[in-house]
Amino acid sequence: MTSLSGVRSQRKNSRPLSPGDMDYIEPKTKSNLMGKLLLLASLIILAFIVINKASSFTSPSVFSRREEGVTHVLVTGGAGYIGSHAALRLLKDKYRVTIVDNLSRGNLGAVKVLQRLFPQTGRLQFIYADLGDPAAVEKIFSENAFDAVMHFAAVAYVGESTLYPLKYYHNITSNTLGVLEAMARHKVKKLIYSSTCATYGEPEKMPITEDTPQVPINPYGKAKKMAEDMILDFSKNSDMAVMILRYFNVIGSDPGGRLGEAPRPELREQGRISGACFDAARGFIPGLQVKGTDYKTSDGTCIRDYIDVTDLVDAHVKALEKAQPHKVGIYNVGTGKGRSVKEFVEACKKATGVEIKVDLLPRRPGDYAEVYSDPTKIFRDLNWTARFTNLQDSLQVAWRWQKIHPHGYASY
């Protein structure tokens, strides 16, 4: 094989290089040099990327380690109406918060509001995940150091539950089991569970106390009761601190105007009466539908205990503060006063200043005539009592947010 030096020697001996030879060789040499420089630059960039990746692996997130004096709370369903208000309160109270939500019912816009309010490192993180995915749940718990869980994530419409019962048992009961198992594996010691007065069904006596028999009459209430039963059975041989809050009909919004209720348009028919009232006041729907006017109540419409969301999240924070190892607390969260649907509609008309058209329709499947709480126990044990009990005032606060955000969080 002829060496390169041999070629040069032969070329030198045969004839001197002409200007034409020089023109032919020089661009090729420059091209090789440029190629080598580009390759070198690419290798340098690649090395920087690898180094940065390696440093990110060796420097764990602040959310992955426990810190003295800081309580890290996992808020499942934290992009939803109640969950986002709870996350706001926790962040204001200096808790570290991780929100997990699959956004099937929640709003990314609510999370963005919270991120803008609390941009500091280590305050808030959002994880898009479905609690029905065991691998995702395990990854969340293995990569984060939680001190407590507030478990809000759930589908929560009575009427919808009668149409799609299996969806409710899977989403509420099965997913709660997955969260509970992950908490046990990773030694997370506090659980604040979001339950409902729907577990009581239609009691014979009012008001409802925590000792009232639980006889739910719709899949939503049944699925929540099953989840409660699992938690209670587990807690008998566990040192976990558990608080179960059974709350009533939630209304209102953040008094600061930062968060509100924004159900998905396709779910409005199943949603809360407050949302339907506001939709009617804004002309999004032709009128407010009152389902059931022949109940055995004073005016024929259902009677409910309407609790302001600000009071509700205050109860959750107090429950978190008071939770004790090896103990279970079960509490009703309500005002202790029942209001009829007709009363609610009149308050909504005054709050919005709109003479809302009302359509009277037959009963909705799965509904019950009268439900309101006895909040004595939660006042005695947690020193909690509802403060925002004026129905019209709570609706006015919520209406302000609705007027400023006619399409919910769509603009975020």
Q: What are the Cα distances from residue 303, in Å, to 76, 215, 248?
A: 30, 18, 11
pLDDT at 58: 44
Segments of the chain scoring below 70 in pLDDT: 1-31, 34-35, 37-38, 40-59, 411-412
Q: In terms of C-beta density within 10 A (0-12 exposed, 13-18 middle, 19 or more buried), how is residue 392 classed?
A: middle
Q: Is domain 72-404 in CATH 3.40.50.720, yes or no?
A: yes
pLDDT at 410: 83
Annotation says 220 is catalytic: yes
Question: Strand, helix or coil at 127?
Answer: strand
Model pLDDT for residues 349-378, shown as the tens digit of each residue: 999 999 999 999 999 777 888 999 999 999
Question: Strand, helix or coil at 378?
Answer: helix
Question: Residues 308, 254: contact at Cβ < 8 Å?
Answer: no
Beta bridge partners of 128: 101
Locate the domains of the chain by residue range: 72-404
pLDDT at 48: 56
Q: Which helix (H) or strand (E) holds 220?
A: helix 219-235
Beta bridge partners of 290: 360
Question: Strand, helix or coil at 252?
Answer: coil
Question: Strand, helix or coil at 303?
Answer: strand
Taking the C-alpha atoms of residue 225 and residue 196, their distance in angstroms, rounded to an integer, is: 9
Catalytic one of 95, 169, 193, 220: 220
pLDDT at 8: 41
DSSP state of 248: -
